[in-house]
Amino acid sequence: MLPYWRLSAYYFFYFAFIGTFAPYFSLYLKSLSFSAWDIGVLNSLMQVMRIAAPNVWGVLADRIGAQTPIVRFAGLMSIVGFALFFFTESFAGVFCAMALLAFFWSAAIPLVDSLTLSHLGSETHHYGRIRLWGSIGFVVAVLAVGAALDRVPIAGLLPMSMATLVGILVCALLVPEAPTRPHHEDHAPLGDILRRPHVRALLVACFFMSAAHGALYVFYSLFLVANGYSTTVVGWLWTLGVLAEIGVFIAMPRLLRIGSIGTILLACHAFAVVRFLMIGWGVESVPVLVLAQLMHGATFGAYHAASVAAVGRWFGAKHQARGQAIYGSVSFGAGGMVGGLLSGYTWDNLGAPLTYSLSALFALIGALAIIAGWRGLGAGERCHDDSENGGER
């Protein structure tokens, strides 16, 4: 039976940590007098570790045939790494703490995605119904923390973040291992899967989509505060984006049944081009910011759900953990690192509008990659149940 609530609770706390940490940690680093470049480097460590770490853990999980022991160990070591923030304020100390936290924290979500898809079996189009609880966790955290930081010093961010990591560990202990189901791609070597044009197109597009989001995740909160917005308003704008994301997750089963992966991803990248130009050049207009945040439903929600479903379909059960790890490494790891580091450089040297214009350019390149691989990503690759995996059309 599907452990819906245990999986949902894990996603809730995992993304509650992101909602606590990601929008506000740059403000904490700025309070330690770090430069924009320092902040960009420190935040990019989360992406750097997501390049290699998930692949290490994914290979191990596929070899031992189990994900939950690694997920639980990663939860425990994430707490150990984060605890170091309480004892250091130097760049070197924060760097080491961030690296340790990121190495273990980044290991978990590709494995949990693999677990979720394995539990769903042929019902993978319902992934969004479980994953949306992560978005709800993000909303709860970002609103609560944003309001709290209007009343308490920024250092209060540390215990609030630690509480969500403890929640992740508790949920990791409750999530059961998934049964292994045969898949028509299980006979295919991993290298052969990665050489397929539509798989390469997906990974290239995901790289550039994550790179496009680099400036958003690192500097969006700082950008808004610098333009006179309170942390409460910042929290509400982040929340608006995630509410749009939740709506898309609810609608994804229908979207994945009627639309091809290529169509969905191309639309997501087109929205991203427009969204980042609006943020960079329209920060003084609240309606512009609101509309830009509503586009998060496409630029992350639909994009991520379609990508995870595609990996689940194309990599099979045998390579599922490594497939999700490769997707996470290429997109959130390498793409996020490039986007974060470049935005750290351009923020001081070119300014915010041009930095977000660069984000729009990255999204455009991703769209071109999708068009180049359109044949494999087109109508014949719809990601819904079919006779091939025992579902219904």
DSSP string, 79-123: HHHHHGGGG--SHHHHHHHHHHHHHHHHHHHHHHHHHHHHHHTT-
| Ranges of each domain in the chain | 4-177+187-382
Q: What is the pLDDT of residue 377?
A: 61
Q: Where are the alpha helices (DSSP H) in 150-260?
A: 157-174, 190-194, 197-212, 214-226, 231-258
* CATH superfamily assigned to domain 4-177+187-382: MFS general substrate transporter like domains (1.20.1250.20)
Instruction: Please list the rounded mean pLDDT of every run of 10 residues in the chain (393 residues).
Output: 88 93 88 87 82 80 82 94 94 94 86 84 75 89 87 93 96 85 61 88 94 91 90 85 88 81 91 97 95 95 88 79 85 86 89 96 95 65 39 29
- Residue 173 CB coordination number (10 Å): 14
Where would I find the beta strands (DSSP E) of 107-251?
none
Rg, Å, the chain Cα set? 20
Alpha-carbon gap, residue 239 to 20, rounded angstroms: 12
Where would I find the beta strands (DSSP E) of 249-369?
none
pLDDT in tens, 277-296: 999 999 999 999 999 999 99
Helix (H, G, I), strand (E, B) or coil at 327: helix
- Spatial contact of 81 and 103, defined as CB atoms under 8 Å apart: yes
Output the pTM of the full model.
0.76
Token pair for 286: 């609240």
Alpha-carbon gap, residue 295 to 275, rounded angstroms: 7
